[in-house]
Amino acid sequence: NAGVTQTPKFQVLKTGQSMTLQCAQDMNHNSMYWYRQDPGMGLRLIYYSASEGTTDKGEVPNGYNVSRLNKREFSLRLESAAPSQTSVYFCASSPGTGIAFEKLFFGSGTQLSVL
Q: What are the two backbone dihedrals, phi and then psi, of residue 28, each rounded to the nearest 5 degrees?
A: 60, 35
Query: In this chain, which of 34, 35, 64, 74 binds another protein, going by CB under 8 A?
Result: 35
- Taking CB under 8 A as the rule, does residue 52 contact another protein? no
Distance between CA 79 and CA 37 in Å, rounded?
19
Rule CB under 8 A: is residue 20 a binding residue for another protein?
no
> Which span sits near another protein by CB under 8 A: 9-17, 62-70, 76-84, 95-103?
95-103
Q: What are phi and psi of 44, to 5 degrees?
A: -115, 130
Q: What does residue 84 show for φ and ψ, rounded to 5 degrees? A: -65, -10
Q: Which residues bind another protein (CB under 8 A)?
A: 31, 33, 35, 40-45, 48, 50, 56, 58-59, 90, 94, 96, 100, 102-104, 106-109
